């Protein structure tokens, strides 16, 4: 973690931190796979290979020691965070393109690990979302469709084939659904946040809490973000007539709220570095994401919120830098 002086001896190298993040992601990935089939593992494998390839090429081009930096797992973490945000049956080349934008443009063209102002995973995601809005909002519905098997998944991702019963494979996320219709639809809604999604979100929460416990991430960021989203949701429940928004827990458990709070906003490179700044930074993400989610054109707003607050992080750091002893 990046901390301001006085700096204690770091308890983990970069690769250790990154390995912990991968470990914390795995329960969510397993549950996700259980609900939605082989799409996610296939995409994860594809993105890992691609990220390592791009990373090696860029390190070579930049004249950096390839073996040292490729072993720090940072490219793998960026690729996994990115892929988890993508629809699991996305064509292979779109995943490659997103990884390319994340690793090559967002990370290495800005100076590599530790120098990138924007979260690479979110840059890759935002590029795809802006470029291919139709594909990026095709999610597997859990009601009325058979989840594709391994072979079928490969055929859809790599062969571009459209399997007959997957023909209508396009469903809005629960969030999108509630924004565009005025009635809650229990068919795609689980107990709280969209069938399947609430369990996956809880897995992110468990992984994230473990990361906070091991001090791999700063607990201030997820706490501040979730508090902001929660307060906003309570206000929304009191002030809005939309039946889906009557339960504030919906906003905490659906979409990318918990994932963004624990895994995206906490990126030590692109977040604010001061303690007060981190409260502000995360609150800003929560607020912007909710504004985009409720009034914006996209179903969920965390990618854009994170990128906008990444942009503000240097200014937040400047405004909240701790007073040195003896100075005003």
Instruction: Tell me the closest approach of the beta carbon of residue 38 to other proteins, in angstroms.
Output: 27
Instruction: Tell me the closest approach of the beta carbon of residue 103 to other proteins, in angstroms.
Output: 15
- Using the contact rule CB under 8 A, the part of the chain among 74-82, 125-133, 161-169, 220-228 near other proteins is 125-133
Q: Residue from 130, 146, 185, 238 that binds other proteins (CB under 8 A)?
A: 130
Which residue, 65 or 133, has its beta carbon nearer to other proteins? 133
Q: Residue from 132, 154, 249, 308 that binds other proteins (CB under 8 A)?
A: 132
d(C-alpha 192, C-alpha 265), whole Å: 24
DSSP state of 321: P
Residues 6 or more apart whose CB falls under 8 angstroms from that of 301 comprise: 288, 289, 290, 291, 292, 293
- Mask 74-103, x = binds other proteins (CB under 8 A)? -----------------------x------
d(C-alpha 173, C-alpha 32), whole Å: 15
Residues 6 or more apart whose CB falls under 8 angstroms from that of 308 comprise: 284, 288
Residues 6 or more apart whose CB falls under 8 angstroms from that of 107 comprise: 58, 75, 78, 113, 116, 120
Instruction: Tell me the closest approach of the beta carbon of residue 133 to other proteins, in angstroms.
Output: 7
Where do runs of H (alpha helix) occur along the chain? Answer: 14-36, 39-61, 66-70, 74-85, 92-100, 120-131, 133-136, 150-159, 174-180, 197-213, 220-239, 249-253, 257-259, 275-295, 302-320
Which residue, 135 or 227, has its beta carbon nearer to other proteins? 135
d(C-alpha 241, C-alpha 235), whole Å: 12
Residues 6 or more apart whose CB falls under 8 angstroms from that of 306 comprise: 119, 122, 260, 264, 265, 270, 285, 289
Instruction: Tell me the closest approach of the beta carbon of residue 173 to other proteins, in angstroms.
Output: 20
- Using the contact rule CB under 8 A, the part of the chain among 5-13, 52-60, 131-139, 192-200 near other proteins is 131-139
Size of the site for other proteins (CB under 8 A): 7
Instruction: Tell me the closest approach of the beta carbon of residue 157 to other proteins, in angstroms.
Output: 19
- Using the contact rule CB under 8 A, the part of the chain among 129-137, 149-157, 183-191, 301-309 near other proteins is 129-137
Instruction: Tell me the closest approach of the beta carbon of residue 97 to other proteins, in angstroms.
Output: 8
Residues 105-124, interacting with other proteins (CB under 8 A): 105
Q: Residue from 111, 133, 149, 168 that binds other proteins (CB under 8 A)?
A: 133
DSSP string, 119-141: -HHHHHHHHHHHH-HHHHT----
Which residue, 26 or 131, has its beta carbon nearer to other proteins? 131
Which residue, 131 or 183, has its beta carbon nearer to other proteins? 131
Which residue, 34 or 133, has its beta carbon nearer to other proteins? 133
d(C-alpha 214, C-alpha 203), whole Å: 17
Six-digit token pair at 252?
């905490």
Residues 6 or more apart whose CB falls under 8 angstroms from that of 202 comprise: 253, 258
Of 282, 292, 288, give the one whose Cα is nearest residue 208.
282
Instruction: Tell me the closest approach of the beta carbon of residue 289 to other proteins, in angstroms.
Output: 20
Instruction: Tell me the closest approach of the beta carbon of residue 101 to other proteins, in angstroms.
Output: 9
Which residue, 97 or 156, has its beta carbon nearer to other proteins? 97
Q: Residue from 15, 26, 131, 321 that binds other proteins (CB under 8 A)?
A: 131
Contacts to other proteins by CB under 8 A: 97, 105, 127, 130-133
């Amino acid at each position: 973690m990046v901390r301001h002086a006085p700096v204690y001896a770091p308890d983990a190298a970069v690769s250790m931190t990154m390995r912990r993040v991968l470990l914390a992601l795995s329960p969510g990935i397993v549950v996700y796979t259980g609900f939605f089939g082989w799409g996610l593992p296939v995409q994860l494998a594809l993105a890992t290979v691609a990220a390592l390839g791009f990373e090696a090429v860029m390190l070579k081009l930049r004249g950096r020691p390839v073996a040292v930096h490729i072993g720090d797992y940072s490219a793998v973490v960026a690729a996994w965070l990115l892929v988890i945000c993508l629809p699991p049956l996305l064509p292979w080349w779109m995943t490659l393109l997103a990884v390319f934008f994340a690793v090559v443009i967002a990370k290495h063209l800005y100076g590599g690990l530790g120098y990138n102002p924007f979260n690479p995973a979110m840059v890759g995601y935002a590029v795809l979302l802006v470029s291919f809005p139709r594909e990026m909002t095709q999610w597997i519905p859990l009601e009325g469709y058979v989840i594709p098997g391994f072979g079928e998944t490969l055929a859809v991702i790599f062969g571009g084939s459209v399997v007959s019963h997957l023909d209508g494979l396009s469903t809005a996320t629960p969030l999108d659904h509630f924004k565009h219709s005025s009635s809650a639809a229990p068919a795609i809604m689980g107990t709280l946040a969209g069938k399947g999604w609430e369990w996956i979100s809880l897995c992110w929460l468990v992984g994230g809490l473990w990361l906070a416990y091991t001090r791999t991430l700063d607990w201030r960021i997820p706490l501040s973000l979730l508090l902001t989203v929660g307060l906003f949701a309570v206000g929304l429940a009191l002030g809005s007539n939309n039946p889906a928004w009557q339960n504030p827990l919906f906003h905490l458990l659906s979409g990318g709220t918990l994932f963004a709070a624990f895994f995206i906003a906490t990126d030590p490179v692109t977040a604010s570095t001061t303690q007060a700044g981190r409260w502000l930074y995360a609150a800003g993400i929560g607020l912007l994401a909710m504004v985009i989610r409720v009034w914006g054109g996209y179903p969920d707003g965390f990618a854009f919120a994170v990128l906008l607050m990444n942009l503000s992080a240097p200014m937040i750091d400047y405004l909240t830098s701790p007073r040195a002893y003896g100075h005003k």
